[in-house]
A and B are shown apart, each in its own frame.
Chain A
Amino acid sequence: MKYKEYEVNENVLYTKTHEWAKIENGKARVGLTDYAVKKLKDIVYIEPVDIGQHVKKGEPVAAIDSIKASENVYAPVSGKVVEINSKVVEDPTLINKDPYGEGWILVIEIEKPEEVDELLKPEDYVKLLEEEEH
């Protein structure tokens, strides 16, 4: 699925702050959407919170720097951070190159399954992008 030049992956769910979450066995794998990455361009640095840290939905789980701006990645769901992609920490350009694949950032163990229902479906995320682009 695509909106303009922005890829919207059909197998993940989305937040209004442009993160994606892939739900698998009670865990959420989290990354930035193609739209977010194309807006940020040139991501040069990422610093996720530590493994084992508990985060609440909507709280920052990683700080990122692009050349232009410093931003946060926000937790799509509450829970414990159980995995971090050390490859993107070493080479943040992976996020630019493959945002839905190798550019994943971290995995959160889902604490409140009902929060998953609040995430946006791909078609709703496309609608959000339509609004943002106006």
Chain B
Amino acid sequence: MVQLKTPLYEEHVKLGATISNFAGWSMPIVYESTIKEHLSVRKSAGVFDVSHMARILVKGPDSANLLQKLVAKNIEKAKEGRMLGPTAFLNEKGGFIDDIMVYKLSEKEFLIVGNAVNREKDVNWIKRFVEGLEVEIVDLTFEIAMIALQGPDSSKIMKKLSSSNIEDLDFLHFKKDAEVAGVKSFLVSRSGWTGEDGYEIMVPSNYASKVWSALIEAGATPCGLAARDSLRIEMGYCLYGEDIDENITPLEARYWVFTFNKPPYIGYKALLKKYEEGVDKIRVGIKLKERTVPRRGHKVYMGETCVGEITSGTFSPILNCGIGIAYIDSKHALIGAPVVVDIRGKKRKAKIVDFPFITK
């Protein structure tokens, strides 16, 4: 299969990135050092190419009706200029089709941002329910690039680069057509996936390089997907395909992407049933007592009993130890309890902790 390239691919090559396949895309994994990139986001500012994310436009008079049936949060509560989410498309069993952000662009237009790995699945899923409705589904992923500026210095950088007062945007608010580095954007939102202040900038693909370069010029460190991963794990955020999938519901994941206070949507019934009956396993944090790194598939033990499994793990540059996300059998998912993780046949001391791993 041909690997997809974002409009910034050549920039990544120029910067000497290690490029590798992620969800069918040739993406920069690391430029110079993941630890440096990670720390730049926690302490100053970093910039990520996130153009691989799915950007799907739902438009037409029936858009809100359609999404109200598919999305686990209340679309009626969506306001123009504000992001609704994180929320999700669920299947009939309450499992994740995808976790998404919804942007209400107008009464008749909604933008869905989903995971790269689910782009085609999301489009097909939405299209399954459009019969008889006046809606159009447009995949904007290739015409619009997406760049994330993240870190405590983000608003200073935006102030320098934009005349649209973007630095005044509230968290999870967005502005259409805002100007960034002389480019009229599709939209800019105050949001991100690192736990830091920051912005996500969507611009027409042919202007992506201009904005990217301006952000670096203004002081942001280019960051690869490895840093994006270690940053989101420190915050305890779920990655689709690792920590959540079609067989996991938001309940086990403790991922509050849904509401029961709206008309039934797909997955509502199964989710409500599970909510009342309880869950068999729970997503928690696992903090190692040393620098070794837990990886997906490593088993977690209490005494001789295997109580769960790591779904994603990394080294935390902030805590200076290994951390992981795990699903633990609900009888054993005790925050604070000591556990051991079997890493390469050796039992490593660790502790069950709640998210986020780092306090800010």
Interface residues of A (CB under 8 A from B): 39, 41-42, 44-45, 47, 63, 65, 67-68, 70, 92
Q: Is the CB of A65 within 8 A of B230?
A: no
Given A47-B292, A68-B34, A70-B293: A41 touches B18 (CB 8 Å cut-off): yes
Contact partners of A42 in chain B: CB under 8 A: 30, 33-35, 315
Instruction: Sample 24 A-B pairs with CB under 8 A, ordered by A number.
Output: A41-B30, A41-B32, A41-B33, A42-B30, A42-B34, A42-B35, A42-B315, A44-B291, A44-B293, A45-B290, A45-B291, A45-B292, A47-B292, A63-B344, A65-B292, A65-B293, A65-B315, A67-B30, A67-B35, A67-B314, A67-B315, A68-B30, A68-B34, A68-B226
**With an 8 A cutoff between CB atoms, is B295 at the interface?**
yes
Instruction: Determine the distance from Cα of A67 to Cα of B18 in the docked complex, in whole angstroms.
Output: 14
Cβ-based interface call for B29 (8 A): yes
CA A67 to CA B230, docked complex, whole Å: 8
List CB contacts (< 8 Å) of B96-137 with chain A.
Answer: none
A42-B35, A67-B314, A68-B29 are known contacts; what are 17 more A-B pairs with Cβ within 8 Å? A41-B30, A41-B33, A42-B33, A42-B315, A44-B35, A45-B290, A45-B315, A47-B292, A63-B292, A65-B293, A65-B315, A65-B322, A67-B30, A67-B35, A67-B226, A67-B230, A70-B293
Distance of A67 Cα from B321 Cα, bound (Å) = 11
* Residues of chain A within 8 A of B315, CB atoms compared: 42, 44-45, 65, 67
Q: How far is the CA of A105 from the CA of B30 in the complex (A)?
A: 25
User: Per DSSP, are chain B's interface residues mostly helix, strand or loop, or mixed?
Assistant: mixed
**Total chain B interface residues with beta-carbon distance under 8 A:** 18
By Cβ-Cβ distance, the 5 closest A-B pairs, closest first, are A65-B293, A45-B291, A44-B315, A67-B34, A45-B292
Q: Are A70 and B35 in contact (CB under 8 A)?
A: no
Question: A39: which B residues are within 8 A, CB to CB?
Answer: 18
Given A44-B315, A65-B315; A70-B295 close (CB under 8 Å): yes
Contact with A along B306-332 (1 / 0, CB 8 A): 000000001100000010000000000
Within 8 A of A (CB), among B172-189: none
By a CB distance below 8 angstroms, the chain A residues around B226 are 67-68
Within B1-58, the residues touching A (CB, 8 Å) are: 18, 29-30, 32-35
Bound together, the chains give a CA A39 to CA B32 distance in angstroms of 11
* Closest chain A residue, CB of each to CB of B315: A44
CA distance A70 to B295 in the complex (A): 8
Contacts of A44 in B (CB 8 A): 35, 291, 293, 315
Interface core residue of A41, A42, A67 (most chain B CB under 10 Å): A67
Q: Report whether B34 and A41 are in contact in the complex, using a CB–CB cutoff of 8 Å.
A: yes
Pairwise interchain contact B344-A70, C-beta atoms closer than 8 A: yes
Chain B residue numbers with a CB within 8 Å of A70 are 293, 295, 344
- With A and B bound together, what is the CA distance between A67 and B293 in angstroms? 8
Chain B residue contacts of A67, Cβ below 8 A: 30, 34-35, 226, 230, 293, 314-315
User: Measured between C-beta atoms, what is the minimum distance from B29 to chain A in Å?
Assistant: 7
Closest A residue by C-beta to B35: A42
Q: Which residues of B contact A47 (CB under 8 A)?
A: 292
Distance to closest chain B CB from A105 (angstroms): 16
- With A and B bound together, what is the CA distance between A63 and B293 in angstroms? 11
Q: Which residues of A contact B322 (CB under 8 A)?
A: 45, 65
Contacts of B295 in A (CB 8 A): 70
CB neighbours (8 Å) of B291 from chain A are 44-45, 65, 92
Distance in angstroms between the alpha carbons of A52 and B293 in the assembled complex: 26
**CA A67 to CA B29, docked complex, whole Å:** 11
Q: A42 CA to B31 CA in the complex, in Å? A: 11
Complex Cα gap A63–B32 (Å): 23
Q: Which residues of A contact B29 (CB under 8 A)?
A: 68
Among B30, B226, B230, B293: residue with most chain A CB under 10 A: B293
The CA-CA distance from A92 to B29 in the complex, in Å, is 21
Q: How far is the CB of A48 from chain B (nearest CB, A)?
A: 13
The answer to whether A45 and B293 touch across the interface, beta carbons within 8 angstroms, is yes
Task: Write the nearest CB–CB distance from B350 to chain A, whole angstroms.
Answer: 14
